Amino acid sequence: MKPTIKDVADRAGVSIATVSRVINGAAVVSEKSATRVNAAIKELGFKPNQVARNLVLQKNTSIGIIVPALGNQFYGDILNGIEDACAAQDYEVFVCTTGGDPQKEGRFIETFSDKNCAGIVVMSRKLRPETVKSINALNIPTIMVNRKTSGLMCPTVSIDNFRAAYEITNYLIGLGHKKIALFRNSLDIDAFGVEQYSGFERALAEHNLIIDRDLVCYGEFDPVKSYNLMTELIEKGKVPTAVFATSDVMAMGVCNALFDKGYKVPEDVSVVGFNDIQLAAHYRPALTVIHQPLKQMGEEAVRMIVDMNREDGRVQKDGRTVILPHELIERQSCCSPADEK
Amino acid sequence: MKPTIKDVADRAGVSIATVSRVINGAAVVSEKSATRVNAAIKELGFKPNQVARNLVLQKNTSIGIIVPALGNQFYGDILNGIEDACAAQDYEVFVCTTGGDPQKEGRFIETFSDKNCAGIVVMSRKLRPETVKSINALNIPTIMVNRKTSGLMCPTVSIDNFRAAYEITNYLIGLGHKKIALFRNSLDIDAFGVEQYSGFERALAEHNLIIDRDLVCYGEFDPVKSYNLMTELIEKGKVPTAVFATSDVMAMGVCNALFDKGYKVPEDVSVVGFNDIQLAAHYRPALTVIHQPLKQMGEEAVRMIVDMNREDGRVQKDGRTVILPHELIERQSCCSPADEK
DNA sequence: TTGTAAGCGTTATCAG
DNA sequence: CTGATAACGCTTACAA
């Protein structure tokens, strides 16, 4: 069995209180006791039991993460940021995946609460009102990443999705495009899809362009679905000169469909992505995208949780919003439409 | 503050022992007490404190995962399997990323040990002897995924990498290829790169082909590095008719280099990948690959840990090896070489 | 400077 | 069937 503080005390010939003192370095201990205790610790290979310690201290250095799926570079990049920041602070990371199932979200939040996590970061595409309610009731710092939070009193971190969409649409328009398709996901009033849509719409409107309903496709962040949708568009003869996809994988699906039908990107149609997952640069043609500082977003979320825990245990739930800077990165997937050249 | 079992007891007018009994449903409790306790639990919104429970029970339902990086579909797919299996068993998942830093591996193993995890699954590319030693000393079930374990008394799960490499090389040879390049990672005696190499070599040898040293490139699982290496090959005029890359991302890097130099895949050179991450099918041309049952590998690892915990707490460290079936999946990235057509 | 002892929130063993 | 009570391993007043 693992040695306990008591074994160390016996071996060093002191009380467990003294051992505890040297472990925590808080109170003053005579040099003599200290050396004996340290010797005993080393000899026994003693390591304090974290669960006992957490119990008495009523705190915990683990934070819980709720994420739709792993093996998805978008969340993966964010998670890397979370993980790095946690490791730097000696926090541990619990990860739960929902597979998009909103029911699981609620369950995992409870799990984390039961485990007395120091904080929770939620990445979700669809949030049920009940989940919102239970998050609000939670006595644990909770942060949303890449999501709005109407009705939800908890801090969020994201980019300015309206501006980002606006900028990249303008970029396309600046290139001379007028027939621009939008590949997006289904509406969820609190996800950023709506901001992106507004940005898209605004840019168009400012150039007296209007949205062609047939050209807005619900690719649902899925390359296959996007592939099929783009194929349909082609078969219906409704080929745009440019496509704005609100995720990189959708952009790839669109490109693939185009290739398979004999079109060239960007010569025949320009395509832009959104997020800039690592693969966006490795895809051919390399994707012109809006870059989100994914890793930094994760780090920021952790920073906020650690801060909130420092604040004397007082968990304050306010609507703090952290907006990180995005960036338009030009690569190979865009050019002016043929009739302009 | 969160209600404790004592609050429930007071409210229900019974002792904490009784409350504990109804919570755990073990012993028999009078119907009258039970209903009162349940009412109190509901009214107070009581949830048993897991850390206290774990302390007294001396067990834990969390398992620790050590992984080089998130945001990498290969590990992501395995992790999804792990996570699913854990959720199904009401286990929680700790995730630590090493970024390939072997020093961190050791540290995280200690963390998990301190936390009294029910088990640890290790995914590593490079294992230091010291880490091996500390794993062996560990009193916690530990499983290696996708890795050999000479000198390491712990179960592993993987595919038969020798056979897989042998089969796909044979496939290429069967198509008529003789000049086959190999893109692989640096040698680590205990990683599966060496088995794959042997499989490759054997297939070649059986057809009286020998390995051209210039055509084995160390792409290090990195698309960019592979891109550069392939570009060099082209510039040196040493273009093979086929490439076997031991990971899909290396295969993509190779394809990209080929495209950028004006070559066509598969018409000019065939390329095969290994692993079959989700993206392999979405890349263009869709990659012909060896499919590893990544998700299933993760599930299997969890199953083993759960089993080992059931075995009366007796952690047995043996070299059990689970070999899962692989599969050769033909897609679009291969054809016979030009001179055969 | 040190030790004793009272918790932290549970479970489990006893008597009753 | 139920209630005290002793753990679990640790921290931390309070005394000494």
Q: Which of these, B216, B205, B210, B168, lies nearest to B326 by C-alpha position?
A: B168
Residue B289 per-residue DSSP state: E
| Distance, CA of B293 to CA of B295 (rounded, Å) | 6
* Protein-contacted bases of chain D (C-beta within 7 A): 1-5, 7-13
* pLDDT averaged over every residue in chain A: 90
Asked whether the beta carbons of residue A80 and residue B71 sit closer than 8 angstroms, the reply is yes
Query: ω before B285 within 30° of 0 (cis)?
Result: yes
- CB-based contacts with strand D under 7 Å? A 1-2, 4-6, 16-17, 20-21, 23-24, 26, 46-49, 52-53, 55-57; B 13-18, 21, 27-30, 32-34, 52, 55-56, 58
- d(C-alpha A81, C-alpha A228), whole Å: 33
Nearest alpha carbon to residue B123 among B115, B114, B131: B131
Burial of A263 (0-12, 13-18, 19+ CB in 10 A): middle
Q: Quick check: A124 contacting B, CB < 8 Å?
A: no
Q: Which of residues 57-76 of B touch strand C (CB under 7 A)?
A: 57
Q: For the residues A51-57, what does the mean pLDDT come to? A: 92
Nearest CA to A226 out of A258, A180, A191 is that of: A258
For the record, the structure tokens of B145 come out as 């995924």
Q: Which residues of A touch B282 (CB under 8 A)?
A: 223-224, 227, 249, 252-253, 256
**pLDDT of chain B along its 341 residues, tens only?**
789 999 999 999 999 999 999 998 877 788 888 999 999 999 999 999 999 999 999 888 999 999 999 988 899 999 999 999 999 998 999 999 998 888 888 889 989 988 889 999 999 877 788 888 888 888 889 999 998 777 777 889 999 999 999 999 999 999 999 999 999 998 776 678 889 999 999 999 999 999 999 999 999 999 999 999 999 999 999 999 999 999 999 999 999 999 999 999 999 999 999 999 988 988 889 999 999 999 999 999 999 999 888 765 455 556 678 999 999 999 999 999 987 55
Q: Which nucleotide is nearest to A4 (CA to C1')?
A: D9
| Cα–Cα dist A184/A217, whole Å | 6
**Who has greater pLDDT, B69 or A189?**
B69
Phi-psi region of A156 (alpha: psi -120 to 50; beta: other; left: phi over 0): beta
Kindly report which amino acid residue has its CA closest to the C1' atom of nucleotide D6.
B56
* CB B168 within 8 Å of CB B242: no
Select from B62, B73, B139 the Cβ nearest to the Cβ of A71.
Answer: B73
Q: Is residue A315 scored above 70 in pLDDT?
A: no
Model pTM score: 0.89
CB of A76 within 8 Å of a chain B CB? The answer is yes
Q: What is the spatial distance, in angstroms and rounded to an integer, between the CA atom of A32 and the C1' atom of C7?
A: 29
Q: Which residues of A touch B69 (CB under 8 A)?
A: 76, 80
Task: Determine phi and psi for B24, rounding to 5 degrees.
Answer: -90, -10
Q: Left if phi > 0, otherwise alpha if psi is -120 to 50, otherwise beta: which for B145?
A: beta
Calculate mean pLDDT across residues A234-245.
97
Pairing of strands A180-184, B327-329: unpaired
Model confidence at A75: pLDDT above 90: yes
pLDDT for residue B83: 95
- Can you read off the two tokens belonging to residue A47? 């390591």
User: Structural domains in chain B?
Assistant: 5-49 (1.10.260.40), 62-157+294-310 (3.40.50.2300), 161-291+327-340 (3.40.50.2300)
Between A272 and A317, the more confident residue is A272
Q: Is the pLDDT of residue A231 over 70?
A: yes
